[in-house]
Amino acid sequence: MQHHPGASDAVSIPKNKDNTIAIIVSYALLACLMAYVMFGGDEPPKPVVVAPKVEENDEEPAPKIVLTPVASSIVVSEPLWINPPEDVNMDVTEEMKVKLLLTNHNSYPVTGIIVRFTFHDLLDNDLQGALEKTFDEVIDASGQMSLTDVVLGEYPTDTMSVKAEVLAVSAAQ
C-alpha cells in the first residue's frame, strides 16, 4: 500500500451493516398490529332494540261504543219546490229543484243521510218515480243543514207536491 502525502486524514468507507434483526422486528410488529386489527380490535357497539313493556292485564279491553242513530232522529222539513211549472199542462219537462232543511236531534254528528222523495198528484196520490238521495255532509250534534237547489231529475208531469222521508243515517267519525 502506498501512502499519499495528503491522505493522512483519509475517509474510511463504512462496511455494510447487517439489518436482519431490524427487518424481523418490523415484521413482528406489523404482524401484531394486523392481528389486533383483524381479531382483537374494538367492535362497534351493536344497536340495542328496546321493545315497549307489555303489562299483562287480566281485565278485558273496554268495549267500543258503536253509535247507530235511527232515521227518526233526523227531521226533514217539507221540501219547498223551487221551480214549479207555470203551466201544469206544459209539454217540456225540466229538472225539479227543491229546498229543504235537515235537523239532527242526536248528541253526536251524523252523515250519510238517505232521503226518499215521493211525488204526489192533485189528490195526494203517490206517483211513480220515487227517488232516493244520499247526503254525505256532516251535520253537527243538535245542528241543522239547509240544502238548496237539490236536483231531483225530471219530474212526472202530474206532480203537484213533493214529500221527503229520512230512511237511514250514520254516525260521523
| Residue whose C-alpha is closest to residue 127's, from 89, 162, 91, 96 | 162
> What is the number of other CB atoms lying within 10 angstroms of the CB of residue 79?
21
Taking only the tens place, the pLDDT of each residue in 79-118 is 998 877 666 555 556 788 899 999 999 999 999 999 999 9
Taking only the tens place, the pLDDT of each residue in 109-160 is 999 999 999 998 889 898 888 899 999 999 999 999 999 989 988 766 777 8
Taking only the tens place, the pLDDT of each residue in 48-84 is 666 666 666 656 667 777 788 888 999 999 999 887 7
The residues facing 126 across adjacent strands are: 120
| Mean pLDDT (the chain, rounded) | 80
Instruction: Tell the residue number behind the cell numbers 203537484, with chain if given.
Output: 160
Residue 136, C-beta contacts closer than 8 angstroms, at least 6 positions apart:
111, 112
C-alpha cell at 136: 254525505
User: What is the distance between the alpha carbons of residues 76 and 132, in angstroms, rounded to a whole number?
Assistant: 14
User: What is the distance between the alpha carbons of residues 10 and 83, in angstroms, rounded to a whole number?
Assistant: 133
The residues facing 89 across adjacent strands are: none
pTM of the predicted protein model: 0.58
